[in-house]
Amino acid sequence: MLILAFNVKAAQNNVYDLSEWQGNFTDSQVQQLKKEVPFVILRVQYGSAYYDKTFDHNRNMLDKYKVPYGVYSFSQYESVSDAKNEARVFYKRAPNAKFYVNDYEDQTVKSGGTNEATLAWLNELRPLVGKRKILFYSYQSFMIQHASKAISAYDGYWLAAYQSNEPTREHVLWQYTDHYYSPALGKYIDSSLLTSKKSDWFIGSTGANIIENTKYYNYHHKFTIKSSSQNNFYNHVYDDNKYKSKLSLNSYSVNHRGKTVTVNKKALVNGKTYYRCYYGNKLLGWINSDSLSDYVTYQNVNQFKNIKNNPKNNFYDHIPGSHFSNIKLTHHGKSYSKKKVKVVAKAKKYGWNSYYYKCYYDGKNLGWIYQSAF
């Protein structure tokens, strides 16, 4: 317990971490809780195998009364692969949390290093949660022994230290007691202090001071996912300030490379363009335009055409702007000035009225060239 002189500050900056041990919340408890703390942190699981019995109920109650919450997983991973699995299960159980915590205070790793497993947990979760914070929780002695290297990759350290004076070790949240009385819950609970970061750092802005930076438009089009796409699909536009705290991964683009998608919305933000994409009737989410290419339709033909004198166009192994990686120039168009070439296929980009043609000369495949070369 802290000395009395610290109680005023504690009352203003307390954050509770809660689990099934506190039971199911009632309406009146949560309404009062909203007045006591800026947010709470709920335990979701004890390893991937055990799901807290009260989590669903208590999360729903917090949502009902708009009490922000972060979540933590009491980690039990035994290896790098197990750590990755725990992180995936953790996110699946709490996809809408404001932030996430790896509560690693019990040494369970049996193969591979503890730092490696702790870092793998983070790296598996990172692309799923977007820009939301991921914290590491433990006692300082345990952290130094088992996660001193991995901790630097986390967004912050939630330090457990039951003492009167604030620890000198850098931290973003300090769990200072396991015996703090909450009038709302009528129980003694774990409590932490916000001393170095404001609540907005954890949960994002509540809305009053958000600067709108994204413009949305209706836009109907077809694209093909690039074969080299590295961006992913998110539930909101990645750089939109309004949805920063709610951003989460919908789907990996690697699973859709080369596939055709339809879009019905376009967003412009910070000089970037994003599209809301569907694959068939399934919503994939928003993705950066860098991952999209022209949708091209192809048709076999059998005809001859004459190349004009000194055309500015060149031949390529694939349609320029299509989804293929590393599209290469195969022949200069001017090298075939006034030559008659055989055309075996034509292709048109979505929304265009003009064509590209696949050409052969003396049995040699020249590649694709734009129609203005003829």
Model pLDDT for residues 107-158, shown as the tens digit of each residue: 999 999 999 999 999 999 998 998 899 999 999 999 999 999 999 999 999 9
pLDDT at 195: 87
pLDDT at 275: 98
On whether the CB atoms of residues 200 and 39 are closer than 8 A, the answer is no
On whether the CB atoms of residues 371 and 359 are closer than 8 A, the answer is no
On whether the CB atoms of residues 343 and 305 are closer than 8 A, the answer is yes
Nearest residue to 95 (alpha-carbon basis) of 130, 122, 135: 130
Q: Dihedral of the CA atoms 213, 214, 215, 216 (nearest 10)?
A: -160
Task: Please name the helix (run of DSSP H) or strand (run of DSSP E) that holds residue 304, with its range, or none.
Answer: strand 296-306
pLDDT at 58: 96
All CATH 3.20.20.80 domain ranges of the chain, comma separated, are: 4-203
| Cα–Cα distance for residue pair 31/208, rounded to 1 Å | 21
What are 46's strand-pairing partners? 50, 74
pLDDT at residue 373 tops 90:
yes
Which pLDDT band, with edges at 50, 70 and 90, does 245 fall under? confident
pLDDT at 207: 53
**In the CATH hierarchy, which fold is given to the domain comprising 296-373?**
SH3 type barrels. (2.30.30)
pLDDT at 247: 86
Residue 38 CB partners (closer than 8 Å, separation 6+): 15, 68, 194, 199, 203
pLDDT at 246: 79
pLDDT at 244: 80
Question: 4-203 is classed in which CATH architecture?
Answer: Alpha-Beta Barrel (3.20)
All CATH 2.30.30.170 domain ranges of the chain, comma separated, are: 214-294, 296-373
Mean pLDDT of 230-253: 89
Q: Two tokens at 221? A: 């089009």
pLDDT at 13: 84
Q: Using N-to-C axis directions, what is the helix angle for 55-64 and 27-36, rounded to 10°?
A: 70
pLDDT at residue 10 tops 70:
no
Nearest residue to 147 (alpha-carbon basis) of 17, 155, 88, 139: 139
Determine the Cα angle at 100 with ends 59 and 191, to 5°. Answer: 70
Name the class of domain 214-294.
Answer: mainly beta
